[in-house]
Amino acid sequence: MRTYQTVIVIDSLLKNEEIDEIVNKVERVISNNGGTKVSIDRWGKKRLAYEIKKRQYGYYVEIVFDAPPNLIHILEREYRLEENILRYLSVHLNKRALEYREQQKSQKMEPVEEEKSVSTDDDFKVEMAEENSIVNEETTFVEPLVEPEN
């Protein structure tokens, strides 16, 4: 079994129930043909880079699943038959891509604590003085490369 990622762009003019029905149909095709769903990420409605079937917006869904290689052919056939799917892309996730996805997941899970600092007028004056000193140190005059003619 290999891990695959498929992204589908569904017509954004459909109702939420119709979009859910299409996503559920894709899930059924994956599970009925020996695949197991890992995750579904709904990216939502986004503007397309160019019009597709006279549509400017599409509803994006990413599905990550484990499946045998022959399932991709079956799945993409279903995508072509479904008229409300504007575009699709299925890729095999190699070892490095899987490690990167795990790393991104772990970074999202870690709580991020923001430092709250109160700036005062004195801090602002110090920052401005530091900036001015840096600018003054870096300012140099460049002599012309060509000597003027006499």
- List, for residues 96-117, the tens digit of each pLDDT value: 888 888 888 888 776 655 555 5
Residue 10 domain-assigned? yes
Residue 116 domain-assigned? no
* CATH code assigned at 63: 3.30.70.60
Beta strands 55-67 and 36-52, pairing class? antiparallel
Percent of the chain scoring above 90 in pLDDT: 46
- Under 8 Å CB-to-CB from 75, ≥6 apart: which residues? 6, 26, 29, 30, 33, 90
Higher pLDDT among residues 140 and 44, named by residue? 44
CA distance 40 to 24: 11
What pLDDT was estimated at residue 122?
59
Number of domains in the chain: 1
**Angle of helix 16-32 relative to helix 70-81, nearest 10 degrees?**
150
What pLDDT was estimated at residue 108?
76
Query: Residue 40's domain spans which residues?
Result: 2-106
Residue 55 domain-assigned? yes
pTM: 0.67
What pLDDT was estimated at residue 36?
87
- List, for residues 2-57, the tens digit of each pLDDT value: 899 999 999 999 999 999 999 999 999 999 988 888 889 999 999 999 998 889 99
